[in-house]
């Protein structure tokens, strides 16, 4: 344990672990160590839990549920650390941190402990603020195999006629993707392809956002949207209707360190005017097109079985959308 906590380089850590003859015994010791820190109380213990998750991602979790240690952000911007399984379900301590004089500490009042079916470990969360330490909070640098397609939403608002679509997307499509995608067969280069969907809306507070989809051939950038919109509508019409000109797809870079890339997809009001079945079919077509374009950009740069991944994704989408 002393050695693995001192090895910072992931390649050297992989090399060190591969030197053990009895992998089952090593895995047992690593998992026992992880359980000691799964209910971490300070930054040092969180970082040790992260390192043990990195080790278990290398040697395999065996019969135990594979988890990934993630440092994210709470809604107020404070650090948030947690463990998730391949279905993005939280396990063990989900902690929110606060900056203090001299470092960071867990705000136990905002933190939650999640049971794990794989362990009897349980904990009553203390109250107040935890131990202050100056250590930087780490995040796992390798990842467990999981469904690479992550469908998210921008603003939570939408027109009423799209609520059934979004409910189906959240409660039917996403669980099916988690269940039926086969990440172990695709490769390790991709962690997440984040497809962030934003729908037009008009809420009860009279706040309007109606997306106008730009012609792709124009290849507009952010600075071009409003001048181009003024060619289509008067300033009064833009203000009254909440018009925003946007590209249908906006692609982010691929981060090799995190294995993530992001696509923003926007939907006009006319999309929400369609019947549910038509909305599903259109959404499915846009999602698969976005992933196919990502594959076109990355297939020559990274080793990943995009063809098989896209085939699996298409099958789930077709069944969900009724194509």
Grade residue 58 by pLDDT with cuts at 50, 70 and 90: very high
Give pLDDT tens digits for 111-161. 999 988 777 666 778 889 999 999 999 999 999 999 999 999 987 788 899
pLDDT score, position 205: 65
Measured CA to CA, the distance from residue 181 to residue 179 in angstroms comes to 6
Distance of CA 290 to the CA centre of its chain: 16
pLDDT score, position 203: 77
pLDDT score, position 122: 65
**For the chain, how far is it from start to end, CA to CA, in angstroms?**
53
The pTM of the whole model exceeds 0.75: yes
β-strand 192-199 against 112-114: which pairing, if any? unpaired
**Which residue, chain included where needed, has tokens 């650390």?**
81
Span 96-124, average pLDDT: 86
Percent of the chain with pLDDT over 90: 86
Task: Decide if 66 contacts 54 (C-beta within 8 A).
Answer: no
pLDDT score, position 155: 75
């Amino acid at each position: 344990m002393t050695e693995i906590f001192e090895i910072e380089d992931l390649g050297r850590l992989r090399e060190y672990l591969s030197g053990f003859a009895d992998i089952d015994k090593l895995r047992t010791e690593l998992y026992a160590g992880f359980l000691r820190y799964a209910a971490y109380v300070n930054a040092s213990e969180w970082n040790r839990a992260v390192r043990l998750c990195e080790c278990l991602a290398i040697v395999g979790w065996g019969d135990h549920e594979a988890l990934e240690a993630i440092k994210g952000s709470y809604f107020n911007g404070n650090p948030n650390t947690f463990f998730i399984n391949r279905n993005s379900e939280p396990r063990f301590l989900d902690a929110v941190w606060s900056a203090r004089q001299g470092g960071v500490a867990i705000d136990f009042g905002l933190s939650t402990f999640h049971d794990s079916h794989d362990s009897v470990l349980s904990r009553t969360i203390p109250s107040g603020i935890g131990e202050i330490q100056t250590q930087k909070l780490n995040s796992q640098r390798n990842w467990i195999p999981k469904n690479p397609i992550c469908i998210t939403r921008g603003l939570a608002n939408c027109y009423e006629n799209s609520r059934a679509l979004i409910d189906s997307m959240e409660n039917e499509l996403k669980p099916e993707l988690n269940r039926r995608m086969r990440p172990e067969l695709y490769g390790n280069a991709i962690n997440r392809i984040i497809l962030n969907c934003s729908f037009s809306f008009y809420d009860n507070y009279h706040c309007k956002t109606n997306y106008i989809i730009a012609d792709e051939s124009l290849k507009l950038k952010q600075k071009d949207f409003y001048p181009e919109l003024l060619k289509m509508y008067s300033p009064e019409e833009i203000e009254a209707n909440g018009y925003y000109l946007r590209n249908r797809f906006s692609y982010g870079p691929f981060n090799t360190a995190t294995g993530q890339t992001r696509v923003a997809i926007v939907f006009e009001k006319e999309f929400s005017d369609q019947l549910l079945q038509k909305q599903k079919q259109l959404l499915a077509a846009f999602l698969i097109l976005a992933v196919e374009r990502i594959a076109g950009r990355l297939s020559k740069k990274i080793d990943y079985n995009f063809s098989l991944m896209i085939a699996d994704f298409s099958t789930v989408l077709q069944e969900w959308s009724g194509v």
